[in-house]
Amino acid sequence: MKISVTILMLMVSVSSIGQSLEAIEARKIVFPNVTGYHTIICDLHQHTVFSDGAVWPSVRVMEAQRDGLDAIAVTEHLEYQPHKDDIPHPDRNRAFEIESSMVQAEELIVIPGSEITRSMPPGHANAIFIKDANKLLSDDYMEVYAEAKKQGAFIFWNHPDWTDQAPDGIARLTEIHRDLIDQQMLHGIEVVNMYTFSEEALSICLQENLTILGTSDVHGLIDWEYPVWFGGHRPVTLVFAEKRSMSSIKDALFAGRTAVWFNNTLIGRVEHLKPLLEASVKVTNVAYAGNTNVLEVSFSNVSDANFTMKNTSSYSLQRNSNIFELPAHTETTIRIKTITRLEGALNWKLEVLNTVVKPQTPATIELNLAIP
Ligand SMILES: [Zn+2]
Ligand SMILES: [Zn+2]
């Protein structure tokens, strides 16, 4: 009796472990590599109790591993230290040291950084790939930017649409920002921060040739701030790097090879989204259904994005309106009424509605479907 109860308890506990492992697997953010580059999944803006966050640095590493990230940056506020009385840390590199000591780079790449925290302009900025955060403490923000540049940092403007600093929520480039760009002390902008997407920031990135970024800027727990258990996810930057290494990520960021994954939307330059879409959505089969004139096109979506497609051809679809879904990690077959049996190939243009390549503009994909 005693034994069987123990066995029963064991079975129950094993099955509940099995379920949670499955759930942990499902929450991982997954995008395929693109031609020539690794797709590196990065969250480059995070806080802990070492500035105004609510968690010990180790939690950031564990969350990142659960979300399947490749890289995170440690970006405590330099000038805002509300927990200083409880956690006095004269060495501003401590949060990075704790996080980076927990993992090997093969598991998770931890990038040292700091958030330069000033009123607008220039507002807040993250300097990442820094060598020593302690040297970034100065009353003069230009000295801080100059020191970060001296350390080889990649510097990006944070939440330019933050209503505490831009009450109308519109990101605007000031003379100070222009000056920083000219002096190569500002290399990118958060087009996405936390729950916001700024079309104006995207415009500025495109006009000024700056790198497009999206970050969680998490202060509490990822699970409390983003609905991960309901298919949601934190915002991340997808970095297209030659290798999965710190230096390759840095090179790619300076070269502007990024896209942002935010709230089931991909945002980025056309030249970076197109290869990502091509790698994510593949046509697996094209054939007429039986003796009909209805063409069946099967898609395999190997990414985490639930794509919303818009048929821009003159043909109508048999089972969908002009707008249809290609769910994440799923095969989907779409039926096109081509009126007559086409021979050779069909050129099919589709808009991918949950992508943004410039304000108000989704990416398009052009499929050249060989008809057997
Ligand atoms: Zn900030
Ligand atoms: Zn922040």
Indicate the average pLDDT of the chain.
94
Residues 121-150 have a mean pLDDT of: 97
> Closest ligand to 215 CA?
2
Q: What is the pTM of this model?
A: 0.93
Cα 2 to averaged position of ligand 1 atoms, centre (Å): 58
Please give the pLDDT value at position 16: 54
Cα 108 to averaged position of ligand 2 atoms, centre (Å): 21
Cα 86 to averaged position of ligand 1 atoms, centre (Å): 22
pLDDT bucket at 12, cuts 50 / 70 / 90: very low
> Closest ligand to 74 CA?
2
Cα 118 to averaged position of ligand 1 atoms, centre (Å): 9
164 token code pair: 């505490």
**Is 60 exceeded by the pLDDT of residue 8?**
no
Which 3-state string (H, E, C) describes the chain?
Answer: CHHHHHHHHHHHHHHHHHHHHHHHHHCCCCCCCECCEEEEEEECCECCCCCCCCCCHHHHHHHHHHCCCCEEEEEEECCCCCCCCCCCCCCCCHHHHHHHHHCCCCCCEEEEEEEEECCCCCCEEEEECCCCHHHHCCCCHHHHHHHHHHCCCEEEECCCCCCCCCCCCCCCCCHHHHHHHHCCCCCEEEEEECCEECHHHHHHHHHHCCEEEEECCECCCHHHHCCHHHCCCCCEEEEEECCCCHHHHHHHHHHCCEEEEECCEEEECHHHHHHHHHHHEEEEEEEECCCCCEEEEEEEECCCCCEEEEECCCCCECCCCCEEEECCCEEEEEEEECCCCCCCEEEEEEEECCEECECCECEEEEEEEECC
Cα 313 to averaged position of ligand 2 atoms, centre (Å): 45
Please give the pLDDT value at position 25: 81
Cα 130 to averaged position of ligand 1 atoms, centre (Å): 18
Cα 102 to averaged position of ligand 2 atoms, centre (Å): 22
Please give the pLDDT value at position 13: 46
> Closest ligand to 52 CA?
2
Cα 62 to averaged position of ligand 1 atoms, centre (Å): 23
- Condensed to tens digits (0 to 9), the pLDDT of residues 248-302 reads 999 999 999 999 999 999 999 999 999 999 999 999 999 999 999 999 999 999 9
What is the C-alpha R_g of the chain?
Answer: 24
Residues 71-84 have a mean pLDDT of: 96
- Condensed to tens digits (0 to 9), the pLDDT of residues 303-329 reads 999 999 999 999 999 999 999 999 999
pLDDT bucket at 124, cuts 50 / 70 / 90: very high
Separation of alpha carbons 298 and 355, rounded Å: 21
- Condensed to tens digits (0 to 9), the pLDDT of residues 161-197 reads 999 999 999 999 999 999 999 999 999 999 999 999 9
> Closest ligand to 45 CA?
2
Cα 174 to averaged position of ligand 2 atoms, centre (Å): 21
Cα 193 to averaged position of ligand 2 atoms, centre (Å): 9
> Closest ligand to 161 CA?
1
> Closest ligand to 114 CA?
2
Cα 171 to averaged position of ligand 2 atoms, centre (Å): 17
> Closest ligand to 217 CA?
2
**Is 60 exceeded by the pLDDT of residue 105?**
yes
